[in-house]
Amino acid sequence: MNLEKLREIREVSLQDQQQVLSEGNIKITICMSTSGIAAGAREVKKTLLREIAERDIKQVVVAQTGEKGLQTFEPVIIVEEKDKPRVMYGNVTPEIMTTIIVEHILNGQPVKRFLWTGEDADKIEGQEHPFFEKQVKLVLSNCGEIDPESIDEYIGAGGYQALGKALSSMTPDEVIEEITNAGLRGRGGAGFSTGLKWSFTRKATGDTKYIICNADEGDPGAFMDRSVLEGDPHAVLEGMLIAGYAIGAREGIVYTRAEYPLAIHRLEIAIKQAQKFGLLGENIFESGFSFTIEIRQGAGAFVCGEETALIASIEGERGMPRIRPPFPAQSGLWGKPTNINNVETFANVRHIIIHGAEWYRNMGTPKSPGTKVFALAGKIKNSGLIEVPMGMPLRDVIFTVGGGMKTDKPFKAVQMGGPSGGCIPASLLDTIVDYDSINQTGAIMGSGGMVVMDSSTCMVDVAKFFLNFTQNESCGKCTFCRIGTNRMLEILTRITEGKGKMEDLDILMELSKKIKTTSLCGLGQTAPNPVLTTLKYFREEYIAHIQDKRCPAGVCKALITFKIDAEKCVGCTACARKCPVNCISGEVKKPHVINQDACIKCGSCYDTCKFNAITKS
Amino acid sequence: MYEAIFSKYAPTKDNLIYILHEIQDQHPQQYISEEAISAVSEYLSITHAHIYGVLTFYSMFSTKPRGKNIIRLCESPPCFLKGSEAILHSLRDILQIKVGETTPDGLFTLELTACLGVCGNAPVMMINEDVYGDLTEAKVTKIIADIKGRI
C-alpha cells in the first residue's frame, strides 16, 4: 500500500457509490447493529429481500450500516434516490416493510406515517430534526453511513488517509505533538491527556512496546464503544496504528467484552481486510513501520476495564488491579511499556491528524476540546447514541437532542458515569458537559452513559443498585472495597426496607471516605460516588425512608401497599388473572380485594387496571 | 477429547481464557468440568488451583452443568426503569425455574447479567449470542416457544 494506491481505491469506491445512486436506482439501507437486530432488523431484511425477489424489482440495491444512533426507532430503514432527499423510516416491522415496498419503491410515494420523525413532508429526511441538528459527528461520522464490513467504503469516506499522512510526512514526535496540542483527553472516563500518555510510553526504554485498545465497556447504561466497533471498526484500527507508530510499538491488542459478539465479528473482518490491503503487517505505506492487531476477549468481569486488571486478564490471570507505579507506560503487558486508550479516544485520532490540532480545538471548551459521544438511556424520548461538542449544557443534551422525557412525569435526575459516577439533579441541568464541570457536581463524565430518571425513580434504590453492582464486581483485593461496599449495601438495603436509622447516614459518609482513600484502583476509589451524590442532592428521600417509613417514588416494596378502591373497581377480573401469586379475589362484576399477606408487591395489578381502581401508597 | 481445541492455541498461559471459552462453548451443557480443568492444567503446565481461580473469577464461566440455551436478562438500571422486573416474572412463569436454575429438560438456564449495551431497546435479554430487545410478556413467550419449536 502507498498513498497513490489509497487514492485510487478511494476514487473507485466513490465511483461505485455514485453508480449505486445513478438515475433510476434506489438504495435501501438497513441499520444492522445489535440494537437494530434486537429490535427485529433481521426479519425486516428477510422481508425486504423476499419482496424484491418475488415482485422481481430491478434496480434496487440493498445495503447495511451500523447504527445511526436512533435506538428507540430501530429497526431503521433509509431509502435513497438520486437528487432526492433521503427518507428515513423508524420502528419498521416486516408488515411496514412490505407497505414501503408497495407505496414508496413501486409507486414512488414516501410513506409519511412510517417516518421515524412521525411528522410530515418538511421533515422527511429527519436531518433537520433537533436530534441530528445539534450534533457534531466526528467519532460517529461513519456510523450509520458506511457498510462497516467494507474497507472500500471506509477508504471512500476518507479512511486511512490519516495513517498515510502520519507515516509518510510526520515523525513519531510530530504525531505526539499534534495529539498533545489538540488537547485530546482519554474518553474512557479519567480524561487524562492522550498525547502525554503516548509520550510516556514513547520515552520508556525497551524494544518491545504494546498498544492496547480498551473495549471492555462495562458501565451500566453505556454502549458507545459497541456502536463504534459495530459501525466503524476501521476507524479504531487506524487510531491504533497511528498510536503504534507514535510510541514505537509493533503489536496492538483490542481487549473486548465477550458480551459483544457482533462487535468482535466486525472487528475480525476489519482486521483481515486491513491485512489484505497491506494496512496491517510489514512495511505499511512503504515506511518501514510494521504493525499487527489481535483481539482478546474478556469473560465478564467489570473490573477488567481498569488498565492493570485488563493487562492481568490478557496474561491469563484473574483480572485484579496491580499497584501503580510502575504505570503501564513503564511496565505493562508482559512487563513491557504499554499504552492503553479506549475505543472512542482511538476513533478521534485520525481526525486530528488530518485536520490538525487547531481545527480540533475549535470544538468544545478550552480544557476539554472536541466532542463527546453519549449513550442516552432510561426515561428519555430519543434513547440512543449521540455526539455533541463538549461544553453543551446538560439541559440541551437531554431536552433538545434527547427530545426530553418519554413519560409525562417530570425529570428528576441524570445518572452519569455509571457505578463510578453520580446522579445530577434538575437544579444543575445548566451544567455544561466537560470533564471539569461534571466532576464539580460529584458525578464524573465517565465513558459517556447517561441514564435519565423521572419522578417515579427512587434515588435510594438507584444508589443501592450501583452499590450492589460494585460490591459484586469488586475483585476483593482491597479490604475496604471488598467489605466496606458490602457494609454500605447492607445499610442501604435496611433503609429501603424501612429499618434505617438516622445514624446510618453518618456511617455511610464515613465508609465512603474510607473506601475512596484506601482502594487501589478506580473501582473502589469511585464506588461510593452514587451514594455520595444522592445523599448530597436527595437527602430528603433518605430521610423519608428512615423517619416516615415512606418511599416518595413508590418503588421500595417493603414501604408500599397496593389497595383496590371498591368504588372504582368494576370487577373485570383483569388484575386477578394477572396476579402471579393469586392473591386477588372477588366475584365477577364485584369489587375485588388484595390479600396483603400474600402480596409480593410486583405492581402488575396496578399496571393492568384500566379503571385506576388500584392505589399505591 | 480437547486435542482439537488445544491444537489451535500455543501452550502459554495467556491462552487460558480463550481455551476455557471454547471448551465451555463446545460442551452441550455449557460448563467446564473437573476433567476439562485437568486436561487444561496438563496442556498449559499450570496448576488446577490457578485455573479454578481464573474460572471462578469471570462471571461467564460456569463450573456447573447448564442448559442448552442460556438466557441472560439484563438487570441494569436502564432496563429496570423500563420494566425488566416484569420480564423476569414472565420468564420464571414460563420456564418454571428461578434465577440460576436450569429447566428439567436441560433446554434453558436463566441468569441475570449486567448491562448488555443495548439500552435504547430496554428491557433486553441475550439468549446465547442473540440479543432480543423491547421485551414484553407476549414477546418473551413467543421467543421461548420459537426456540422450543426449533429443537
Q: Would you say residue A367 has pLDDT above 90?
A: yes
pLDDT digits (tens, 9 = 90+) for A293-308: 999 999 999 999 999 9
Question: What pLDDT is attached to residue A126?
Answer: 56
pLDDT (mean) for B141-147: 95
Are the beta carbons of B17 and A299 separated by less than 8 Å? Answer: yes
Banded pLDDT at B1 (limits 50, 70, 90): confident
3-state secondary structure of B23: helix
State the burial class of residue B101 (Cβ atoms within 10 Å of its Cβ: 0-12, 13-18, 19+).
middle
Question: What pLDDT is attached to residue B83?
Answer: 87
Q: Are strands A251-256 and A210-215 parallel, antiparallel or unpaired?
A: parallel
The pTM assigned to this predicted structure is: 0.94
The partner residue sitting opposite B121, judged by closest CB among A38, A217, A218, is A38
Q: Please report the ipTM that was assigned to this predicted complex.
A: 0.94
Kindly state whether A294 is in contact with chain B, defined as any CB-CB distance less than 8 angstroms. no
Nearest-CA residue of chain B relative to A608?
Answer: B86
- Domain residue ranges of chain A, discontinuous segments joined by +: 19-126, 159-361, 371-454, 459-547, 560-616
Pick the residue with more confidence: A10 or A130? A10
Question: What pLDDT is attached to residue B131?
Answer: 94
Helix or strand run (H / E) with residue A63? strand A60-65
Question: What pLDDT is attached to residue A32?
Answer: 96
Which residue from B92, B63, B77, B85 is spatially nearest to B135, judged by alpha carbons?
B85
pLDDT digits (tens, 9 = 90+) for A386-398: 999 999 999 999 9
How far apart are alpha carbons A196 and A179 in whole angstroms?
9
Question: What pLDDT is attached to residue A607?
Answer: 85
Question: What pLDDT is attached to residue A578?
Answer: 86
Which residue from A421, A400, A401, A422 is spatially nearest to A413, judged by alpha carbons?
A422
Banded pLDDT at A48 (limits 50, 70, 90): very high
Amino acid found at A519: S
Kindly state whether B76 is in contact with chain A, defined as any CB-CB distance less than 8 angstroms. yes
Question: What pLDDT is attached to residue A127?
Answer: 65
Question: What pLDDT is attached to residue A125?
Answer: 60
Q: Would you say residue B107 has pLDDT above 70?
A: yes
pLDDT (mean) for B101-128: 94
Q: Which CATH code, of 3.40.640.10, 1.10.730.10, 3.40.50.300, 3.30.70.20, is assigned to A560-616?
A: 3.30.70.20
Question: What pLDDT is attached to residue A122?
Answer: 55
pLDDT digits (tens, 9 = 90+) for A99-153: 999 999 999 999 989 998 876 545 556 567 888 889 999 999 999 999 999 999 9
Are the beta carbons of B17 and A457 separated by less than 8 Å? Answer: no
Q: Would you say residue A8 has pLDDT above 70?
A: yes
The mean pLDDT of chain A is 94
Give how far the C-alpha of residue B102 lies from the chain's centroid of Cα atoms, to the nearest Å.
11
Q: Would you say residue B114 has pLDDT above 90?
A: no
State the burial class of residue A503 (Cβ atoms within 10 Å of its Cβ: 0-12, 13-18, 19+).
exposed
pLDDT digits (tens, 9 = 90+) for B58-80: 999 999 999 999 999 999 888 98
How far apart are alpha carbons B43 and A494 in whole angstroms?
49
Banded pLDDT at A84 (limits 50, 70, 90): confident
- Domain residue ranges of chain B, discontinuous segments joined by +: 2-57, 69-150
Question: What pLDDT is attached to residue A119?
Answer: 64
Put simply, the chain A residues between 297 and 356 with a CB less than 8 A from any chain B CB are: 297-302, 313-319
CATH superfamily label, A159-361: NADH-ubiquinone oxidoreductase 51kDa subunit (3.40.50.11540)
Q: Which fold has domain A459-547?
A: de novo design (two linked rop proteins) (1.20.1440)
CATH architecture of the domain with residue range A371-454: Roll (3.10)
How far apart are alpha carbons A482 and A430 in whole angstroms?
36
Give how far the C-alpha of residue A545 lies from the chain's centroid of Cα atoms, to the nearest Å.
33
Are the beta carbons of A221 and B15 separated by less than 8 Å? Answer: no
CATH class for the domain made up of B69-150 = alpha beta
Neighbours of A290 (CB within 10 A): 14
The partner residue sitting opposite A378, judged by closest CB among B78, B116, B130, is B78
The partner residue sitting opposite B124, judged by closest CB among A38, A314, A465, is A38
Distance from CA of B106 to the nearest CA of A (A): 23
Q: Which residues in chain B are closer than 8 Å to A374, comparing Cβ atoms? A: none
CATH class for the domain made up of A19-126 = alpha beta
Banded pLDDT at A410 (limits 50, 70, 90): very high
> Mutate which of A70, A210, A317 to test chain B, going by most B C-beta atoms within 10 A?
A317
Pick the residue with more confidence: A249 or A189? A249
Are the beta carbons of B119 and A475 separated by less than 8 Å? Answer: no
Q: Percent of chain A, pLDDT > 90?
A: 87
Q: Is it true that the peptide bond before A580 is cis, omega within 30 degrees of 0? A: no
